[in-house]
Amino acid sequence: MRIVVLAGGIGGARFLRGLKRAAPDAEITVIGNTGDDIHLFGLKVCPDLDTVMYTLGGGIDEEQGWGRADETFRVKEELGAYGVGPEWFGLGDRDFATHIVRTQMLAAGYPLSAVTEALCARWKPGVTLLPMSDDRIETHVAVEVDGERKAVHFQEYWVRLRASVPAEAVVPVGAEQAEPAPGVLAAIAAADVILFPPSNPVVSIGTILAVPGIREAIAEAGVPVVGLSPIVGDAPVRGMADKVLAAVGVEATAAAVAAHYGSGLLDGWLVDTVDAGAVAEVEAAGIRCRAVPLMMTGPDATAAMAGEALALAAEVRG
């Protein structure tokens, strides 16, 4: 079975670990979000691609959900000693190697998709990891700070500001001129199932869908598209999805996120058991809905969730 998964950072990566357990024989292609990418110290950092690669490759800092395990920060400290920032983005020594290799391959003319393939040759994530695009796309957030309205890079909003100020707008800069990376549309066309894991619906999955051609390809794929709510009990499970959902005028509820994707895209939607009351509302929107445990409390729970998503896809297929 060929499964295509649109993934952001931590939530998507953890879900993928469960999906690999639930469907060990499946051919999984991950379309990774690159809107979180940031250029720091002359290096290109791809947080969501790296989080998937490290999580599935066994190198992730499990407790943080991002960055490498057993990390040290000597280079960051030395940069700080030179007064070279930003100090608010924690790049570790092991992680720096990934960004150095990526940046020198990009400088040699390799597209991001080829670079990602090369990095994955080391990590062997057990999935095909494709960036959503080889073109530069960076999410910026319009905020009002000290009475001044400005656009900050997503990472500054997320990490330095901790999403403590309302996001007035979220803009994937460059998306309109971008193209899907090689293999992305082909993977969607060849898929038997397409899954939206509990990643951020605005800055992760929303950004992937903003690449011209991807949303249309999924809508026209003619195969079950099933999503899992990142919102449980009217609050995001992790991260601050509610902050960016507000920016796009979407309530932080499991039903509102399903409606946000829409029945033109979604065939099925999993909500957590605490949101069982939302099932009727989602079904009324033309999206098949089931209430199952959605807390990724460990590998067994995550594998069970992934199994439920595949079961709903089978039910939708009929």
- Which residues, 214 to 243, sit near ligand FO1 by CB under 6 A? none
- Which residues, 138 to 177, sit near ligand FO1 by CB under 6 A? 155, 158-159
Q: How far is the CB of 273 from ligand FO1 (least distance, A)?
A: 26
Q: Which residues of 113-124 are buried (b: 16+ CB within 10 A; e: fewer)?
A: bbbbbebbeebe
Q: How far is the CB of 190 from ligand FO1 (least distance, A)?
A: 27
- Which residues, 47 to 86, sit near ligand FO1 by CB under 6 A? 47-48, 50-51, 66-67
Q: How would you list the strands of the sheet with 138-145, edge to edge?
A: 148-153, 138-145, 169-173
Q: Which residues of 282-304 are buried (b: 16+ CB within 10 A; e: fewer)?
A: beebebbbbbbebebeeeeebbb
Q: Are 57 and 123 in contact (CB under 8 A)?
A: yes
Q: Which residues contact 166 (CB under 8 A, 6 or more apart)?
A: 143, 144, 243, 246, 247
What would the x/- binding string for ligand FO1 be over residues 81 to 110, using CB under 6 A?
--------xxx---x---------------
Do the annotations mark residue 192 as ligand-binding? no
Q: How far is the CB of 210 from ligand FO1 (least distance, A)?
A: 16
Q: Does 123 bind ligand FO1 (CB under 6 A)?
A: no
Q: How far is the CB of 76 from ligand FO1 (least distance, A)?
A: 10
Q: How far is the CB of 10 from ligand FO1 (least distance, A)?
A: 6
Q: Does 36 bind ligand FO1 (CB under 6 A)?
A: yes
Phi-psi category of residue 102: left, alpha or beta, with phi > 0 → left and psi -120 to 50 → alpha: alpha
Question: Residue 152 corresponds to which tokens in the numbers above?
Answer: 């900050």
Q: Does 196 bind ligand FO1 (CB under 6 A)?
A: no
Q: Does 35 bind ligand FO1 (CB under 6 A)?
A: no
Q: Which residues contact 188 (CB under 8 A, 6 or more apart)?
A: 4, 31, 194, 214, 217, 218, 221
Binding residues vs ligand FO1 (CB under 6 A): 8-10, 36, 45, 47-48, 50-51, 66-67, 89-91, 95, 155, 158-159
Annotated binding-site residues read 50
